[in-house]
Structure 1
């Protein structure tokens, strides 16, 4: 009996140790702050770690006369780790309130990082909803080496919203990096007489009350944050469908009203043609928007390419609509692979020229290849886009030349099958240069590494 009592005492002590020590440590360690960057070494502060967004529901109330924006962003996400806190990207606006799963959360907002601490930690793989109430006067982003001014740009009658590469944080809290795509819903309220245009399709007729009109748009296909738009202003519209049956919406500022019909017809014609070259159109509508803001560039906003202060010609429209496949449906995982967007869209311009009976892609290729060996384009390898010079002409032109060199090497039959397979296999997903090279080699049965090395990675003119 003395032996049994001693054994029982030892067992009780052991159980007590189990109850109060190591078992609690993993539970506490399972939750930690999400990283303040998503992991793109070229853009270390863009995006955030620890979660993946599935949906943004953005309610935006904007008054052009005062340039004041009041917003509520409801973000649905899934935790990829246990989270004690997480970050959202937002700059230049005042955050009034944050909740997570309906409970008030504490937060700090410094620079472009909104750090949220939920009342209860979030378990790994758990779904959660964060709601952010914010307001202020949006300030566009500026860059002397990329696109100049971008993001939410106030105009006299509304706003020109073109956010590539990382300007979405100027108007809504987000995981602002292309490697985290999500679906979007927009509720945009503006003064009566102002039109609000966003991605996707209208979910009902606009409603007006007390001198303000509300528009509701929905983009049900995954989209990178930099492609989101809420462009507002005085617009004339033309609606219909392409000959192939894709809903088509063209919009033009009154200053460019004479270009509206051409924009509508050309966008429809090119959308249908690209469907025969690249495969089925990946989204629910097509079209374009010409605004009276002298941006000097166009942007391939998903379903609604945006042209800043000029009437686009067919080549530019062909470029931006090709992006609906290459860049929008197929999205780069890291910015250094930008040639997969811009090189493909540039080559699409050459294919459109060829289709129209103008210069062939081969003639355009040879014209560029004849540029002197000391031309700056040859010293910039496009397969490694530089963070301080993303939109260098080499990423576009030499990127397009890479595709033509590939076409010459594998032949037209394999090349055009490759384009369709690339678009179909990665529809709505993410892509890298390595994946494209692997597919090209598999479909052609050739070792193409020397070709891609010469065209994408060497700082000299390829032979």
Structure 2
């Protein structure tokens, strides 16, 4: 099995970011944008593959506690804004430096319509350096994918483009294309309207949604579908959309998606968007989490694990439906919550289908790759570019893995489900690292803030020191920490869990001991 494939991608990230245009997002919230919040987007676009362009409008419903002198949105300068309407009247606006400033008319308006269009920005190295990817399939049909995690929604629609801003009431998405093209998008397909030459697809979701999760993929697709029975008892539509040339692989992909969903539900609880669907669409780039329509471009590279087939890319992006989509952060400083928990859930697939040995082998292979160069948690008000690096995946997962070892499965797994099911941190309510640290303490009754702050917010590792103490045992310490960790130690009596810290602790054993033999923790051996 290609155990290192996913983590090899990390070494692409710094190189890829060198091609990025200056479309980063996040950071401190613009003071003008702090004055209002978005309730709903209604995006209506015609997609024009021949010219690689889009044309249409976005209707933004918003609320504000005060009268706005300026309604500030984000939209890249590559698009031309034709007009802006409020209450049916054209209003003044300026558009430069990727900022669209709208001067509201004297009304109690709670929505604005922005008409715009133009050639789309082309992705340089999707999904790391995103944009639109335009290709032709083997039958010379157009095939378009959109990726925007690093750039935000402003590369395809006017929006309040900050990670803390999610439309509370979801989105309605209308896409008009020439026949025979299909557009796969978020939520559920409400309606399909046809004319002689064109078709308009209306997709919608009532769930809140990240800006970069709003997504659409164009192509001539073959669809395979089934009804998935969630552990909640709900029946959820499950779809895969693949190119016509890959239709023979659609049922196998559907089965892989089914097994992955069952596995995620086992550890994380019911699928978070039962009113919509579970789906993947084949894309001309590797992949990305997009709420209820994950991008899949891994070329059907399934590998056997136990009695099932595994696709690391599909499983990882699916895991984001829980961490990243249902539970999201408002400050990219905490981006590890999206990626670290999801990467840890990838390891759990190994355990579910390959057994504990496969799980620990996978964990050990990842821990060996962690350079400990950057803290997992970035400074407050970080941009996406500042916060995004390989260790939010690998070390983020390792921190959760270590917490499992400290707490034990009987406490850890119920806690994990309780965290992702907590209304205070899910859907329109966002989460921080400190929320998680406090949740662990309140749920378990144990203060693990020392462990979590140390490993998430520093690049230090404890140094293990072991020395013989007479004939009866050994003295063990973990230099460099100011807290106590329960650590597994292999002794002549078997595997014991012993509280260790910077002060020497006597461990009784008539044979040489081994600290953390199963590899729960990131430790530095002397």
TM-score by length of 2: 0.73
Matches within 5 A, 1:378-393: 378-384=372-378, 387=383, 388=385, 390-393=387-390
For residue 311 of structure 1, the aligned residue among 286, 300, 307 is 300
Matched length: 412
CA contact (8 A) 2:69 2:103 kept: yes
User: 2:131 maps to which residue?
Assistant: 151
Matched, 1:266 2:250: no
Which of these residues, 386, 401, 404, is aligned with residue 401 of structure 2?
404
Q: CA deviation at 1:121?
A: 6.4
1:191 is aligned to 2:165: no
The alpha-carbon deviation at position 199 of structure 1 amounts to 0.1
The one of 278, 282, 285 aligned to 1:290 = 282
Q: Deviations over 1:390-413 (max 9, x none)?
A: 442211010000101111111112
Q: Secondary structure at the match of 1:203?
A: strand
Deviations along 1:418-445, one digit per CA (max 9) or x if unpaired, are 1111111123121100000100111121
Q: Which residue of 2 aligns with 1:365?
A: 363
Is the helix fraction higher in 1 or 2? 1
Pairing partner for 2:41 from 56, 72, 76:
56
Q: What CA deviation, in whole Å up to 9, does each residue of 1:79-107 have, x standing for no partner?
A: 14431111111111110110123332110
Q: What does residue 110 of structure 2 align with?
A: 128
Shift of 1:68: 2.7
Deviation, structure 1 residue 60:
0.6
Look up the match of 2:238: 248
The Cα shift of 1:370 comes to 4.0
Aligned-CA RMSD value: 2.5
Distance 1:409 1:318, change over 3 A: same
Distance 2:333 2:413 in 1: 25
- C-alpha separation between the residues in 2 aligned to 1:186 and 1:422? 31
Deviation at 1:364, TM superposition (A): 2.5
Question: Shift of the alpha carbon at 1:304?
Answer: 0.9
Q: Go from structure 1 to structure 2 and tell me whether the alpha carbon gap of 1:177 and 1:256 turns closer, same or farther (over 3 Å shift).
A: farther
Q: Which residue of 1 aligns with 2:506?
A: none
Q: What does residue range 23-422 of structure 1 map to in structure 2 within 5 Å?
A: 40-41=26-27, 48-91=33-76, 92-120=78-106, 128-140=110-122, 147-156=127-136, 157-182=142-167, 183-204=170-191, 206-244=192-230, 245-283=235-273, 284-291=276-283, 293=284, 295=285, 297-308=286-297, 310-311=299-300, 313=302, 314-358=311-355, 359-371=357-369, 377-384=371-378, 387=383, 388=385, 390-422=387-419
Structure 1 residues 150 and 351, CA, compared in 2 at 3 Å: closer, same or farther? same
Q: TM-score, normalised by structure 1?
A: 0.83
For 2:388 and 2:249, the matched residues in 1 are separated by 27
Aligned residues of 1:47 and 1:88 also touching (Cα < 8 A): no
Q: CA deviation at 1:347?
A: 0.5
Cα 1:151–1:454 shift into 2, 3 Å: same
C-alpha separation between the residues in 2 aligned to 1:419 and 1:299?
A: 24
Unaligned stretches of 5+ in structure 1? 1-38
Q: 2:35–2:65: 8 Å Cα contact kept in structure 1? A: yes
Matched residue SS, 2:459 = coil
Query: Whole-Å Cα distance in 2 between the matches of residues 193 and 184 of structure 1?
Result: 25
* Matched-pair contact (CA < 8 Å) for 1:298–1:307: yes
Aligned partners of 1:228 and 1:47: how far apart in 2?
24
- Please give the alpha-carbon distance, in whole angstroms, between the structure 1 residues aligned to 2:32 and 2:185: 22
